[in-house]
Structure 1
């Protein structure tokens, strides 16, 4: 979690602040030598997060200590500990920001990220991504705590008597992103055409997008293909998924099948 009022920084930003390469920063684990430096990422997160304000204060102290030939005496600005509506949460943290009676499984929640039936709001912030063709590719997305709570309050669901009743259309639907929808449809078409031989690189070249973005589109296309296969055959196996999608790694096919079952169950 990135507390409200804190400027987030990752390993690359930290390395820049300390004027070293990111490889040197990671190899030396310099963050462990800074007394009082708080890691903001949750356990198990793939990206280390820091307070930029703390990093800048630590660098300034190290420079001061170097000039007088003494050990640094770190006095870093505090990081807020109390929850705040403006806190930035990653995808998993945003799920657990909800009241327990409104939570779904983590795999279903991840399906909401790029879902077509139930879809999370757009992220409020991205750290580490690069803008390619008008879109931010890569990095990590974050949502403000209030954004997620408002979204959950506005949708009908378990433990929420408010929201749109079943069978009633929304009076103000969100305008779809035409380009994004076209890319999703094209990914599904390409998967149907090339079946087991389609790669993210092929899709990226066809769509003119970064390969990282193409990987997301390809996974979603495969997910919805497996959802369709499940509707026709509830006893679908991992081997069936591998045969139909071209996934060679059994663990990847199993994860895809599990996610498809979650999506299928949530749409019932």
Structure 2
């Protein structure tokens, strides 16, 4: 997270501030040797693709002190003690969040939007600039950042399924015959019926696993299909009993 009002410095900018070449600064990981613990990174720990960022004002203050007796008190203190783990009372509307932090902000605010759905909303082709998600405020080395308020406001205004003003059939269009089930659905239902008829002694759990594996679907889908097959077949015929001799 980039706290509101702070200017992020990339590795390239950090190398420039400390008078080193980018390759040397990067290869030697000089941030681990130069930066005290009071300089907290903006980039999210554990990210698959890390775009390293720090507060530029802090780096400028540190670089100015390297020729003098070191005094950490002269390094500006960020308004958020730990930009990666801010407390709710430290949140600000203009905080800049990466794609995961933005979804976490939605989740904390009570949104039911899944992380996968959020990623789909903000994903885009290489040449595309517009998505159906909120507009990002900043892009650094291929990583986009959104203002906290922008993300939360977008989610509040987001239309639910079927609520789009353009949804449904255009006014005046003629009714069409209802579409039948898809071939894959018919095949899966037939497979479940066959299993019930051929192997009636299997437990429900075994049937669900068998349908899921053979039809390449989840067990939840398999259970729904199995229940539909049972309903279509009706109650099982009673087993014949043998008379005592």
TM-score for the superposition, normalised by structure 1? 0.50
- Relative distance call for 1:13 and 1:156 in structure 2 (3 A) is same
- Which structure is higher in helix share? 1
Counterpart position of 2:146 = 143
Contact map agreement 1:31 1:37 (CA 8 A) in 2: no
What's the CA shift for 1:90?
A: 0.5
Counterpart position of 1:89 = 97
Distance (whole Å) between structure 2 residues aligned to residue 99 and residue 140 of structure 1: 21
Contact map agreement 1:95 1:103 (CA 8 A) in 2: no
What's the CA shift for 1:167?
A: 4.5
Counterpart position of 2:75 = 76
1:91-130 aligned at under 5 Å gives the runs 91-100=99-108, 101-114=110-123, 119-128=132-141
Task: State the Cα deviation string for residues 74-99 of structure 1 (Å, max 9, x = none).
Answer: 32111122210000000110001114
What's the CA shift for 1:141?
A: 0.9
SS at match of 2:24: helix
SS at match of 1:97: helix
Contact map agreement 1:96 1:103 (CA 8 A) in 2: no
Question: Which of 165, 172, 175 is 1:169 aligned to?
Answer: 165
- Structure 2: runs of 5+ lacking an equivalent: 81-89, 126-130, 167-181, 188-245
- Structure 1: runs of 5+ lacking an equivalent: 66-70, 129-138, 158-164, 171-230, 236-268
TM-score for the superposition, normalised by structure 2? 0.55
- Say what the alpha-carbon RMSD is for the aligned residues: 2.7
1:1-268 aligned at under 5 Å gives the runs 1-32=1-32, 33-35=34-36, 36-45=38-47, 46-63=50-67, 65=68, 71-74=69-72, 75-81=74-80, 82-100=90-108, 101-114=110-123, 119-128=132-141, 139-157=142-160, 166-169=162-165
Which structure's CA Rg is the greater one? Answer: 2
Contact map agreement 1:89 1:144 (CA 8 A) in 2: yes
Contact map agreement 1:112 1:120 (CA 8 A) in 2: yes
Task: State the Cα deviation string for residues 43-92 of structure 1 (Å, max 9, x = none).
Answer: 123111100010111111113x2xxxxx5323211112221000000011
Which consecutive aligned stretches of 4+ in structure 1 deviate over 3 angstroms post-superposition?
A: 231-235
